[in-house]
Amino acid sequence: MRKAIVVGSGAGGCMAAKELAAAGLAVTVLEAGRTFKPFAFDMGVFELARLAGLFFDERMISLLFPEMRIDKARGDGSLVHVVGRAVGGTTTLATGNALRYDRYLADLGICLDAEFAVLEREVPQTTDHRANWSPLTERLFDAFVNLGLDPQVTPKFMEDPTRCVACGKCVLGCKFNAKWTADKLIEGVDGVTVKTGVVVESVIIEGRRATGVVVRRGPKREMEAADVVVLAAGGLGTPPILEASGIPAKPTLFVDPVLCVAAPWEGAGLDRQLPMPFVSQQPDYILSPYFDWLSFYFNKGWRAPSGDIVSIMIKMADASVGSYDGRHLVKPLVDSDWETIAHAVDVSYDILEEVGVPRDRTFFGTLNAGHPGGCFPLTEAEAGSLHHAALPQNLHIADASLFPRSMGNPPILTIMALAKRIARNAVQ
What is the tens place of the pLDDT at every residue in 133-157?
999 999 999 999 999 999 999 999 9
- pLDDT at position 63 is 56
Residue by residue, DSSP assigns 254-310 as B--EEEEEEEE-TT--GGGS-SS-EEEEETTEEEEE---HHHHHH-TT--S-GGGEE
- pLDDT at position 57 is 57
When pLDDT is averaged across residues 106-126 and rounded to a whole number, the result is 97
- pLDDT at position 51 is 58
Buried b vs exposed e over 195-224: b needs ≥16 C-beta within 10 Å?
A: eeebbbebbbbeeeebbbbbbeeeeeeeeb
| Gap between the Cα atoms of 18 and 23, Å rounded | 9
**What is the architecture, at CATH level 2, of domain 52-77+127-173+253-369?**
2-Layer Sandwich (3.30)
| Gap between the Cα atoms of 325 and 239, Å rounded | 7
- pLDDT at position 39 is 75
**Bridge partners, residue 5, by sequence:** 28, 229
| Gap between the Cα atoms of 245 and 211, Å rounded | 12
- pLDDT at position 229 is 98
Which range is least confidently modeled, 122-126, 216-220, 246-250, 348-352?
A: 216-220
Give the model's confidence band at 325: pLDDT under 50 very low, under 70 low, under 90 confident, else very high. confident
- pLDDT at position 227 is 97
When pLDDT is averaged across residues 352-356 and rounded to a whole number, the result is 98
| Gap between the Cα atoms of 185 and 17, Å rounded | 9
pLDDT of 279 > 80? The answer is yes
Please state the length of the chain.
Answer: 428
Give the model's confidence band at 428: pLDDT under 50 very low, under 70 low, under 90 confident, else very high. confident
- pLDDT at position 242 is 97
- pLDDT at position 71 is 73
Q: Domain ranges in the chain?
A: 52-77+127-173+253-369
How buried is residue 380: exposed, middle or buried, by Cβ count under 10 Å (0-12/13-18/19+)? exposed
Task: Please report the sign of the dihedral spanned by the C-alpha atoms of residue 103, residue 144, residue 94, residue 330.
Answer: positive
Q: Give backbone dihedrals phi and psi of 343, rounded to 5 degrees, phi first.
A: -65, -45
Give the model's confidence band at 301: pLDDT under 50 very low, under 70 low, under 90 confident, else very high. confident
Buried b vs exposed e over 115-149: b needs ≥16 C-beta within 10 Å?
A: bbeebeeebbbbeebeeebbebbeebbebbeebeb
pLDDT of 180 > 70? The answer is yes
Residues 365 and 292 sit within 8 Å (Cβ to Cβ): yes
Question: Which H or E run contains 224?
Answer: strand 220-225
- pLDDT at position 76 is 56
- pLDDT at position 60 is 55
When pLDDT is averaged across residues 101-119 and rounded to a whole number, the result is 97
- pLDDT at position 55 is 56
Q: How many Cβ atoms from other residues are within 10 Å of residue 316's Cβ?
A: 24
Helices (H) and strands (E) in the chain, counts: 10, 21
What is the tens place of the pLDDT at every residue in 367-400?
998 899 999 999 999 999 999 999 999 999 999 9
| Gap between the Cα atoms of 179 and 156, Å rounded | 8
Give the model's confidence band at 61: pLDDT under 50 very low, under 70 low, under 90 confident, else very high. low
What is the tens place of the pLDDT at every residue in 191-203?
999 999 999 999 9
pLDDT of 250 > 80? The answer is yes
pLDDT of 318 > 70? The answer is yes
